[in-house]
Every structure is written in structure tokens, then in C-alpha cells.
Amino acid sequence: MAMSHLNLLRPVLCRFLPSVVRTPLVTSSRVPSLPHSSCPVLLPNYVRHYATKKSKAKAKGQTAKVNINAALVEDIISLEEVKEDMAAVLTTLKEDFSRNLSIRTSPGALDHITVTTKDGKFPLNQLGQISMKSPQLLVVNMTGFPEAMTAVTRALQDSSMGLNPEVEGTIIRVPVPKVTREHRENLVKLAKQFCNKAKDSLRRVRTGAVTQVKKSKESVSEDTIHLVEKQIQQMADNYAADIDKQLATKTKELLG
């Protein structure tokens, strides 16, 4: 009897229940449990990587390079002229190295020496004829300008080559120091002095260029001024690195 009444109410219940119960929360009162070993649960492995001191220092030392079109800032400064001035510093350094730091004797080893006379300053090879009598002896013939004997002798003594000239009439004999370990080390010290001098000249070029750029502050934006200054500093850093390379190469050559 009860079952027959339930069948009669089925259409009404089917229309009424969906509005009351939207979604069943539990479809079954019992949830089967799986063995622990049969279905392992894999959790995501999150790893946080921390920056090391070395990587932080490397990142701090790296700066973005600037590459400005020289034509766009020619009204402010000529970057090409600045580059030429810096290149001239490096060229002068190379010339100083070849003239003063050679461990091989040749007549041209004295050409760079400048002699100061009452008539002005002259290269030694314009006042006397230089020849090599032996690997350990250079001779300067002063027959053409005997009045400059004293000035030439002083210039030889004051040179950075450690020379002790000997005067015989109008002939100046210049013994060449033997290439000892001490002499090589002295040449390395002289090379460092030349490099320091070159870096000073490089800094003067950079400072002069930056000063010129700052004069355009009223007509150019600060960002543009900053970029141009950064470009000049970058150029100076590159040439300073070249100077260091020249020193390292020459040091290796001198010490053997």
C-alpha cells in the first residue's frame, strides 16, 4: 500500500526536489580508502634559488653599454675628436715603449732623446751622428755642432736609460748597460711610469670632454647630457684597458 502511494507522488517529487537540493555534497556515505603504498601522493617540489655574493657582485659591476650616434650629438661635442685624442695617448705610449724600453741596442735607441740648447730643443739625431761600434757601445759624433757637446752629454745622463757618456774631443762614447735582471726590472718600473703618465693624459682628455658637454645643459635635456657623459667614460675605460694590456705585454717581454 505504501509503495503504491510513493509511486503516485513520484512526478511531484521529481519537480520539487531539484529546486531544493541543487548539488549533492556527498554521493556516498562511505568513501573507499586506497592502500597507502598503491597510490603515492606527489607534492610539487618548489625550490627557491638565492643569489650568491659572487653573482651579486658580478651583476653590480656590469653596466649597460651606451652606443650613441656621433652625428646626433655633434652640436654638443665631437665624439670622433675625443676618440682621436684618446687614441693619440695610446699611440704615444707605444712610441715611448719602443724608444725607451728596448733591451736590444741599435743606433735609433738614442733618437728620442731631446737636447735643450740656448737656441731651443732638438732631437739628438739632429745635432750629432749616432753609430753603433758594438752591441755594448754607441758613439755620437758632434763634429757638426761641437758647441752643443755639454748639452748633449747632460741630456744623455738625464735620460731614463741609465747612460754614463764619456767625452773624447767631439766624440761622445756611450756604453750600453748590460742586460741584467736588475736592468730588466728597472725597465719594467719605467714601463709602469709611462702607463701612469698615459692614464693621466687620458683622464685630462675625458675631463675636458665632459666639461664641454656640461656647457650645453641649458639647450639639451639632462638625460642626453648623462648619456653623452656615459659614452665618454665608456671610451676612456676602453682605452685604459688597452693601456693595461700594453703594460702586461711589455712586462712579459722585458722579464722574459
Q: What is the pLDDT of residue 72?
A: 74
Summarised one tens digit per residue, pLDDT across range 112-137 is: 788 999 889 998 889 999 888 887 88
Q: What is the pLDDT of residue 88?
A: 97
d(CA 240, CA 9): 99
Q: Which string of b and e fits 113-128 if b means at least 16 CB within 10 Å?
A: bebeeeeeebebbebb
Q: What is the pLDDT of residue 15?
A: 57
Summarised one tens digit per residue, pLDDT across range 56-92 is: 555 555 556 777 777 778 888 999 999 999 999 999 9
0.95 exceeded by the pTM?
Answer: no
Look at residue 234 and tell me whether its pLDDT is greater than 60: yes
- Here the cell at position 19 is 529546486
Q: What is the pLDDT of residue 103?
A: 66
Strand ranges, E, within the chain: 114-117, 120-123, 129-134, 137-141, 166-168, 171-175
Summarised one tens digit per residue, pLDDT across range 143-193 is: 999 999 999 999 998 876 778 899 999 999 998 877 778 878 888 998 999
